[in-house]
Amino acid sequence: MSVATEVQAFPPPEVSTSPSDRRADIDAKHVRVAALLQEIQCDSMLVLDPDNVAWITSGASSRGLADSQEMPAVFVNPEGRWILSSNADSQRIFDEELDGLGFQLKEWPWHWGRAQLVAELCKGRKVACDLPLDDSTLVGNQLRHLRRKLSAYEQACCRALGLIVSHALEACCRTISPGETEREVAGQLSHRLLHRGAHPLVLNVAAEDRLRVYRHCGFTSAPIHTHCVMCVTARKYGLCASASRSICFGQPTPQIRKDHDTACKVSATYVASSWPDGVPKSILTTGRRVYTVCGAEHEWTLSPQGHVTGRSPVELAITPATEDLLQSGWAVTWRASAGSAMSCDTFLLSEDGPRAVTSPESWPLKRIRIQGAEFVRPDLLIR
């Protein structure tokens, strides 16, 4: 065990998260939407799903809204693009989200509701929509496939988010004290994420052996005495990433060490198989074989092993029935678990192999050799 940097590092990025790169990314998506409109013979598209709005705006988010019918939408045709917003929200959206990115405004008075403006826009037009709407052409599946492959700009944003997620988890593991509760630790994780602009979507904090019973454990008032697993999914730039880290106060028990080693070996196996054109069923079968070799064959059946992520936390669940082959540009989260242990991180797939998005900053690593190549997974932090 050593403290080192993740072996599968990224080369220096050619694209940043700057406004100019974001504008170029939006322009490229506008071209793709225009091509889709021509293909389906529609003259305009209405985008209502917040995940699709985040995709076509390269990261704009809705904040402070409780009613889904008040959410901003996007209207686009080959010649232009508009944000649809309530007059209560339009100023913030342009000041904080869309200034200088080529969007115009179509605004509804708050007392109208979004539906009235949408009806006026669609009247007399052949409109495509990502959600079922009257007699519009449904294009939800097409947009989900388009957004699944991350652009160079989106990959840069994903890497930036991954650093935030890793830092929050590892800083929390270094500073918590025995006796603190899962709820207190979840609060600390949330604070660290929000402090750097990332919104926590899922927080799992499992003290002692609670993960052995509840794989999707959330957090409770249970105190942490000897062992804790933290797993978080967070969103920033309209993208999502997940990771886990584990801590022991004092030396781990033989069972915890065995569980953690098993989870690391399985997750490393998944990572090693994460190449373009990888077959999900074959990857899962290989992971299941590793569980069996480690004497934990039943663990595979107890929890989902991974998914494609992106604008939605789960863009595509990876199961033995998944027919889509893995593709370059996809972000994949692998989440192997065994007993009281979990090994979860998010990776970007490329023609050069998988690259860790949520790389450890300065963390104990387990080095695992698979078919002659070395893979590293976050080990237990022992304090």
Average pLDDT of the residues in 53-76: 92
The reported pLDDT for the residue numbered 63 is 83
User: What pLDDT, on a 0 to 100 scale, did the predictor assign at position 11?
Assistant: 53
User: Percent of the chain, pLDDT > 70?
Assistant: 96
At 2 the pLDDT is 38
Of 7-16, 47-56, 206-215, 306-315, minimum mean pLDDT range: 7-16
Three-state SS for the chain is: CEEECCCCCCCCCCCCCCHHHHHHHHHHHHHHHHHHHHHHCCCEEEECCHHHHHHHCCCCCCCCCCCHHHCCEEEEECCEEEEEEECCCHHHHHHHHHCCCCCEEEEECCCCCHHHHHHHHHCCCCEEECCCCCCCEECHHHHHHHHHCCCHHHHHHHHHHHHHHHHHHHHHHHHCCCCCEHHHHHHHHHHHHHHCCCEEEEEEEEECCHHHHCCCCCCCCCECCCEEEEEEEEEECCEEEEEEEEEECCCCCHHHHHHHHHHHHHHHHHHHCCCCCCCHHHHHHHHHHHHHHCCCHHHHHHCCCEEEECCCCCCEECCCCCCCCCCCCCEEEEEEEECCEEEEEEEECCCCCCEECCCCCCEEEEEEEECCEEEEEECCEEC
Q: How confident is the model at residue 126 (pLDDT cuts 50, 70, 90)?
A: very high
Chain segment 194-251, per-residue pLDDT in tens: 999 999 999 999 999 999 999 999 999 999 999 999 999 999 999 999 999 999 999 9
| Residue range 19-148, CATH number | 3.40.350.10
Check if 19-148 and 150-382 are the same fold. Answer: no
Rounded average pLDDT over 33-45: 97
Return the percentage of the chain with pLDDT > 90, whole number.
Answer: 92
Does the pLDDT value for residue 17 go beyond 90? no
pLDDT in tens, 128-149: 999 999 999 999 999 999 999 9
pLDDT above 70 (res 84) = yes
Does 285 have pLDDT greater than 70?
yes
* Model pLDDT for residues 178-198, shown as the tens digit of each residue: 999 999 999 999 999 999 999
Residue 13 has pLDDT above 60, yes or no: no
Confidence category of residue 4, pLDDT binned at 50, 70, 90: very low
In this prediction, residue 371 carries a pLDDT of 86
- pLDDT digits over 92-124, tens only? 999 999 999 999 999 999 999 999 999 999 999
Write down the pLDDT at residue 1: 38
pLDDT surpassing 90 at residue 8: no
pLDDT value at residue 10: 52
Per-residue pLDDT, 68: 87
Q: Is the pLDDT of residue 307 over 90?
A: yes
Say yes or no to pLDDT of 5 above 50: no
Say which residue, 215 or 1, is predicted with more confidence. Answer: 215
Q: Structural domain boundaries of the chain?
A: 19-148, 150-382
The answer on pLDDT for 7 being more than 80 is no
Q: For the domain bounded by 150-382, which CATH number is listed?
A: 3.90.230.10
pLDDT at 41 over 70: yes
- pLDDT over threshold 90, residue 15: no
The mean of the pLDDT values for the chain is 94
